[in-house]
Amino acid sequence: MPNLYSAWPPIRDEQETESSELQDETVQECLPFLERGLPSLACDMHIRFLHRCLGTLPAKFVAYDPARPWLIYWVLTALSVLGEDIEQYRQRVTQTLSAAQNAGGGFGGGHGQISHCAPSYAAVLSLAMVGGSESFELIDRKALWHWLGQVKQSDGGFRVCLDGEEDVRGAYCSMLDKRDSSHSLMASQNICHDTYEGGVSASPQTEAHGAYAFCALACLGILGPPHDIIPRYLDVPLLVSWLSARQHAPEGGFAGRTNKLVDGCYSFWVGGCWPLLEAAASKRQSEPETTTKTNMSLYSADGLRRYILACCQSEGGGLRDKPSKYPDAYHSCYVLAGLSSAQHYSWYEQGTELCSSHALTDAFRWTLCPRLAEVYSQTQPEISNAEGSVVPIHPIFVIPWAAVERTASWFENKGSF
């Protein structure tokens, strides 16, 4: 194991604060797990845990009632990354989400709840994953389009719901559902709230956060070619610097904000930023040479994969924030999505066409590199053998590539509403 992931940081601030004490406690918590060597990815245990999450839940989970579409999305995404067949849930998912869809457009967290961008995002992606005409037909696209027009603001941004807050989360969730190029320039300017640190915040004059950085980058990736639109609206070198500082050593995982602790969910929220930034920085229009693939990453994928395998796997199944935390569906989803992003390589290719009849096609112009896992297994056999192969996810839609292609093809053949 490299010394970087097995010893205390060589440079330490002598000024002790509550934050530094918590950081020291986290290193002490994680180091024993990292020093034991890498356990294998316990796919079978995680799959059993995730199936239980879609079963009958204890009474305390009543707090999840307004997040039903999210719970479905988290579990289906995690199961898909592990290679589990989720078509068995098609009927249940369709019935549950049918009750959450409102006649005025969009989905709420459950029956009788107002439409909101976040559960609408989760619902649409969940239906895309289970697939089938019944699931696709459930989405009232015309009503959804009109509702999104109501939450869209004159400055190009989106509120998360009627009379709700306007921030970059609403922009990403809405742009993914709406895929409407109108006011795209204004939307680009509105979502890019880069801070003095170099990160991206939810709205002006607020703190930079890794998840908001992903939302902004993905939203820009929907609006145009990443090598063109991202440098136009974000300071890429400064953002790379800020995101790089979010990866901790010796843990290897990511934190979401400055002076915060590593958390498994940022394996994707920060880890998922890198494919978009690599596309923005490289301006690559075709597949790179095989010999360069092992050294192209802007972050330590090895460190992240070590953290996921050693610290984020719960002994009883499921993925977690860190060893002292309990597993849940949310962390299982984004830890596994981060592992998938680290394991597979995607690049933007100008010539790839999937949905030529729509105004916004750039999100569909990404290509997956099928040979990267083979190259990596030769250079990092310890990690490669431990984690096996997980299913690749799309860098913008955050669902498996196969689901993106299947859904895009179905709606392309169906035509406009």
Q: Which of 265, 311, 312, 333 is flagged as catalytic? A: 265
Cα–Cα–Cα angle for 318, 320, 325, nearest 5°? 120
Active site residue 266: yes
The conformation of residue 107, written as its DSSP 8-state character, comes to B
What is the C-alpha separation between 135 and 129, in angstroms, rounded? 9
Q: Which of 263, 307, 320, 362 is flagged as catalytic? A: 263
Active site residue 89: no
Q: How many residues can be counted in the chain?
A: 417
Q: Which of 331, 344, 365, 394 is flagged as catalytic? A: 331
Q: Which of 177, 302, 328, 362 is flagged as catalytic? A: 328
Q: Which of 89, 266, 307, 345 is flagged as catalytic? A: 266
Alpha-carbon dihedral sign for residues 177, 180, 181, 184: negative
What is the C-alpha separation between 178 and 363, in angstroms, rounded? 13
317 is written with which tokens?
Answer: 């199944």
Active site residue 322: no
Tell whether omega for the bond before 323 is within 30 degrees of 0, i.e. cis. no
- Which are the contacts of 247, defined by CB distance < 8 A and separation ≥ 6? 253, 254, 270, 299, 300, 303, 304
**Cα→Cα distances 50→121, 188, 303, Å:** 21, 37, 26
268 is written with which tokens?
Answer: 């994707």
- DSSP SS3 for 319: strand
HEC sequence for 112-169: CCCCCHHHHHHHHHHHHHHCCHHHHHHCCHHHHHHHHHHHECCCCCEECCCCCCECHH
Active site residue 260: yes
Q: Which amino acid is at 150?
A: Q
Residue 272: exposure state from Cβ atoms within 10 A (0-12, 13-18, ≥19): buried
Q: Which of 68, 257, 293, 322 is flagged as catalytic? A: 257
Active site residue 328: yes
78 is written with which tokens?
Answer: 């995690």
Active site residue 209: yes
The conformation of residue 61, written as its DSSP 8-state character, comes to G
What is the C-alpha separation between 70 and 330, in angstroms, rounded? 8
- By annotation, the residues acting in catalysis are 209, 257, 260, 263, 265-266, 321, 328, 331
